[in-house]
Chains A and B, each alone.
Chain A
Amino acid sequence: MPQLGNLALAIALILAIYSIVANIYGARRNAPDFVVSARHALWAMCAMVTIAVVVLWAALLRSDFSLEYVAAYSSTTLPTVYKFTSLWGGQQGSLLFWTWLLSIFTSIAAFQNRRRNPDIAPYALAVLAGVAIFFLLMMNFVTRPFDLLATVPAEGSDLNPLLQNYWMAIHPPSLYTGYVSATVPFAFGAAALITGKLDDGWIRSTRRWAIFSWFFLTLGNMFGARWAYEVLGWGGYWAWDPVENAAFMPWLVMTAYLHSVMIQERKDMLKVWNLSLIGLAFGLTLFGTFITRSGVISSVHSFTQSGLGPYFLSFLITVTLAYTALLIFRSKDLRSPAEFESYLSREAAFLFNNLMLVGIAFAVFWGTIFPVLSEAVRGVKITVGPPFFNRVNGPLALGLVFLMGIGPLIAWRRTTTSNLVRSFAAPVAIGVATGIVAAAAGLRQWYVLTAFSLAAFVLGTVLVEFRRGMNARRHMVAEPRAKALVNLVAKNNRRYGGYIIHIGTIVAFVGIVGSSFFRTEVKKSVHPGDSFTIGSYTLRFQGLDETDTPHLESATARVQVLSADGREITVMSPAKLFFKRPQQPATKVAIRSTPASDLYVVLAGIDDSGQTATFEVFLTPLVFWLWAGGLMMVFGTVIVMWPNVRERAAIATALSRSSTDARELADAAPGGE
């Protein structure tokens, strides 16, 4: 079986190389047969990588320890679900999984473009195959997933206990999907540069891919934060760890891209900027992989460190240089008859929004690489941790939130001062009132007051925008309120789905501010029957339950939670786990979540007699809203991506016309906000 995996990967590499040659030859010599053949080669490549994945999965599920990978990341006692997820628990497996996703997305892109984009699709598919070749080279020659051990061990080393959690079943696949799918719009952008077809056809063709990528990056970041919250046991969810940063940066840049392409679709401006952003987003996904796998920067998430760093760095540098060279080569063709009439316009709001998003991405990048820079320049190792990122990004986040409120209510081209006052009177009043109410409630920190005021302002602008749309429908189509709301969103899904994403972002922002500024904690060592308090809760330690399985030992505490009036609310069960195979302890936190606050209980220690347990308890306000906001963002993105017949027709027409015609259609296309 392992030989089948190796063979499949070798054939996949040959097919990827062939598809590049055939695609480029076919496109240059106008030989459609070669292009078709190249497309078939890509589908065959996908089939080969799928075979390799199935072989590795089968080996993991059968605990075939003759494979080095299986012996290193699995064991006979590992629950089946984690045997399945250990495909992405280690270096070679996660690279194989990455390549598999890439081959699937490449195949889908090839299928979607079998009859459209005849000029740029062969080059885009060649770029996608080029990226696949890099990963296939790694797996064929550098870090092989099917290497065999000389002596087969009776038992495997097991998966890292931190990865034996259900969030790890969905967090890496989500993040990888986000990372890898960003390759498709990048490939089409590169193809547009190679061919000189620089109208917005490539943007329209890959808009859903970009949103798809953003959607999964959002999910990946959210799931990762939730994993950290439940597994790492420190009461927080985001530590500005380099690997977290590596996932956050492409999200920021992709967010900027999704906003700025609207300007190109609408006004044929910012061609260079949009091409640069998609190149940057792709580069940052490679940078993230480089960080995770190189060990250059230490991280709590670096489960797959190896000697791959130099290869990834070389690939990253090559891609960056080639793409930049293409941008410079095409710079004259990328000039457009740009018109910008006023700073009081939606274009300006989007430009400033881009500035802030890319500014935050740069600050995160800078903080992430500064330790390496410091060591290179001064020879002194330093750490850049949460205090730096919070202090630098905090004010920038406020600016970004402010711009989120400005964008929706300001007109394209330009707006008059009187219109501005009329549009913003209610949202500003809501924001100011929120600040006053928050101050009256006893909040004194300027950041919190500003953040809550701005959040209310943004929610106000979105609500005003929904109200306007509903009123327009009620007046013109005579619909009742509820129907008007549903139809408004359904018929303008891109625009109003976007507003729902804004609401989700703001709700998550309020959750982040609340949970960052108002967390309290208590650490207590208690005997069974003892109580202690945190906030309005009283916690009574009732005792320990111990279990022993072939896989792990656990000690679970029973903690009764009482309200201020002595009523039992719940019994929580934090635990200490000891994984037998890697001989590694871990904690299992207990969380009681309410919209007001989370009660987060960690069993920090048990004395040798088993009579005294030490608890670390956190009371974190508003953290519930971070996850709720994330769900709203997901819901909004689903609405944005929902197939829209009119938009599809507009895209098809735009692709068949010149760029000028396509620009005119942008105004007619639904949701061309």
Chain B
Amino acid sequence: MRAKLTLASSLVFLVAALFAFLSPELKDVSPETFAAEIPTNSQVSEGLTCQCGCGLTVANCNMPTCGFSVPMRHDIDRMIGEGKTRAQIIAFYRHQYGEKVLSAPTTEGFNLLAWTMPFIALAIGGGLMVFAVGRWHSSAPADSKPGAPPESFDPELRRKLEKELEERR
């Protein structure tokens, strides 16, 4: 138990030291932080997809002569300067280019399927797994004993060590 406490406290100390070292670097810059503030160009352009064919967001397309993202980033700067919100700017571009300009599907109509399907599939998969496990469980022998705890002398490791010792003799 003492050894465990020593290990745990050393690790906690290590983690604390690491955070003390890194904390100036880890400043909160998530979009949520700026929700009530003036949006930055990248917060807006991250929500829009470049149409030059690169497949990246307007924020990330870095082709120096891109005819789409370069002027759009300038226009976004201008609109931010005019006091427009992120939602207003994105709505403006959606109206102009259609849904394809958004970097993620909307959460309405058919698009809702995009967001929900992975979790529905996961739930179905989980359900099937529980069903299969239930069937396997019922076929398991009733008198089986719990597996040995993987404590300091893991039985598998013990067996191998004993074999190794035997070989050395």
Chain A residues packing against B (C-beta within 8 Å): 232-236, 239, 241-242, 269, 298-300, 337-343, 345, 348, 351-352, 355, 358-359, 362-363, 366-367, 370, 374, 377-378, 380-388, 391-392, 396, 409-416, 419, 422-423, 425-426, 429-430, 433-434, 437-438, 440-445, 456, 459-460, 463-465, 467-469, 471-473, 475-477, 491-492, 514, 517-521, 523, 535-536, 576, 585-587, 596-597, 602, 604-605, 616, 619, 621-622, 667, 670, 672-673
Q: Which of B7, B23, B133, B153 contacts A426 (CB 8 A)?
A: B7
Cross-chain contact B57 with A386 (CB below 8 angstroms): yes
Inter-chain contacts of B98 with A (CB < 8 A): 380-381
In the complex formed, the residue of A with least CB distance to B11 is A430
13 A-B residue pairs with CB within 8 Å:
A232-B60, A235-B60, A239-B60, A300-B54, A337-B139, A339-B140, A339-B141, A341-B140, A382-B111, A383-B101, A442-B28, A514-B26, A587-B64
Kindly state the separation between the CA atoms of A422 and B150 in the bound complex, as whole angstroms. Answer: 10
- Which residue from chain B places its CB closest to the CB of A395 in the assembled complex? B119
Decide if B161 touches A441 in the complex (CB within 8 Å): no
Determine if B64 and A383 form an interchain contact, defined as CB atoms under 8 angstroms apart.
Answer: no
Interface residue ranges of B3-21 to A (CB < 8 Å) = 3-4, 7-8, 11-12, 15-16, 19-21
Tell me, in angstroms, the Cα distance from A585 to B8 when the chains sit together.
53
Q: For chain B residues 54-101, which have a beta carbon within 8 Å of chain A?
A: 54-57, 59-65, 98-101
In the complex, chain B residues whose CB is within 8 Å of the CB of A388: 103-105, 114-115
Contact B23–A442 (Cβ < 8 Å)? yes
A463 neighbours in B (Cβ, 8 Å): 7, 11
**Footprint of A on B, CB under 8 Å?**
3-4, 7-8, 11-12, 15-16, 19-30, 32, 41-42, 46-47, 49, 53-57, 59-65, 98-105, 110-111, 113-115, 117-119, 121-122, 125-126, 129, 133, 135-137, 139-141, 144, 146-154, 156-158, 160-162, 164-165
Q: Which A residue sits closest to B20, measured CB to CB? A: A441
Bound together, the chains give a CA A359 to CA B124 distance in angstroms of 10
Which residue of chain B has its CB nearest to the CB of A517?
A: B30
Within the assembled complex, what's the spacing in Å between the Cα atoms of A621 and B24? 10
CB distance from B20 to the nearest CB of A (A): 7
B103 touches A383 (CB 8 A): yes
Using A377-B110, A383-B100, A441-B20 as known contacts, say yes or no to A469 and B122 having CB atoms under 8 A apart: no
> A239 contacts which of B15, B27, B42, B57 (Cβ < 8 Å)?
B57
Distance of B85 from chain A, by nearest CB (Å): 17
Q: In the assembled complex, which residues on chain A have CB atoms less than 8 Å from the CB atom of B24?
A: 535-536
Interface contact A441-B154, CB-CB below 8 Å: no
Query: Known: A234-B61, A299-B55, A411-B146. Is A621-B139 also a contact (CB below 8 A)?
Result: no
Contacts of B8 in A (CB 8 A): 426, 429-430, 433, 460
| Most chain B C-beta atoms within 10 Å of own C-beta, residue among A239, A426, A477 | A426
Q: Are A468 and B147 in contact (CB under 8 A)?
A: no
Q: Which residues of A contact B11 (CB under 8 A)?
A: 430, 433, 456, 459-460, 463
Q: Which of B16, B29, B133 contacts A437 (CB 8 A)?
A: B16
Which of A299, A434, A621 has a CB less than 8 Å from the CB of B26?
Answer: A621
Q: Which 10 A-B residue pairs are closest in the complex by CB-CB distance?
A: A340-B136, A411-B147, A363-B118, A385-B103, A419-B149, A413-B147, A234-B60, A387-B104, A233-B62, A621-B25
Q: Shortest CB–CB separation between residue B13 and chain A, in angstroms?
A: 9
Extra contacts besides A410-B150, A419-B146 (10): CB < 8 Å: A239-B56, A338-B139, A341-B140, A351-B129, A382-B105, A383-B101, A419-B149, A426-B8, A460-B8, A472-B154
Other-chain residue from B47, B63, B99 in contact with A387 (beta carbon distance below 8 A) = B47
Among candidates A341, A423, A443, A619, residue contacting B144 with C-beta atoms closer than 8 Å: A341
Distance in angstroms from A544 CB to nearest chain B CB is 15
Q: How far is the CA of A445 from the CA of B3 in the complex (A)?
A: 33
Could you say which residues of chain B place their CB within 8 Å of the CB of A667? Answer: 156
A372 to B62, CA, bound (A): 26
- Using known A-B contacts A351-B133, A468-B150, determine if residue A445 contacts B30 with beta carbons closer than 8 Å: yes
Q: Are A234 and B62 in contact (CB under 8 A)?
A: yes
B18 CB to nearest A CB, Å: 9
CB of B110, distance to nearest CB on chain A (Å): 6
Contact B118 A392 (CB under 8 A): yes
Q: How far is the CB of B169 from chain A (nearest CB, A)?
A: 12
Is B104 touching A384 in the complex (CB atoms < 8 A)? yes
Q: Is B152 within 8 A of A468, CB to CB? A: yes
User: Measured between C-beta atoms, what is the minimum distance from B114 to chain A in Å?
Assistant: 5
Known: A351-B129, A514-B26, A587-B64. A366 touches B56 (CB 8 A): no
User: In whole angstroms, what is the CA distance A341 to B118 when docked?
Assistant: 29
Q: Is the CB of B4 within 8 A of A425?
A: yes
Contact A384 B105, CB 8 Å, known A341-B137, A438-B19, A445-B28: yes
Give bound CA distance, A370 to B101, whole Å.
15
- Of A241, A363, A383, A535, the contact of B102 (CB 8 Å cutoff): A383
Asked whether A362 lies within 8 Å of B121 as measured between CB atoms, the reply is: yes
Minimum C-beta distance from A509 to chain B (A): 15
Contacts of A437 in B (CB 8 A): 12, 15-16, 19
> Are A469 and B28 interface neighbours, CB within 8 A?
no
Min CB distance A106 to B, Å, is 34
* B104 nearest CB across to chain A (Å): 4
| Complex Cα spacing A460 to B10, Å | 11
In the complex formed, the residue of A with least CB distance to B155 is A411
Residues of B contacting A605 with CB < 8 Å? 64
Given A430-B12, A433-B15, verify A386-B55 contact (CB < 8 Å). Answer: no
Chain B residue with the shortest CB-CB distance to A392: B118
CB within 8 Å for A387 and B103 given contacts A359-B121, A514-B26:
yes
Interchain CB contact under 8 A, B137 and A340: yes
Q: A355-B129, A381-B98 are in contact. Are A520 and B27 (CB under 8 A)?
A: yes
Q: Which of B25, B30, B105, B141 contacts A597 (CB 8 A)?
A: B25
Q: Are A345 and B64 in contact (CB under 8 A)?
A: no
Of B20, B136, B161, the residue contacting A338 (CB under 8 A) is B136
- Closest residue of chain A to B12 (Cβ to Cβ) is A433
Given A359-B122, A363-B118, A477-B161, check contact A236 B60 (CB 8 Å). Answer: yes
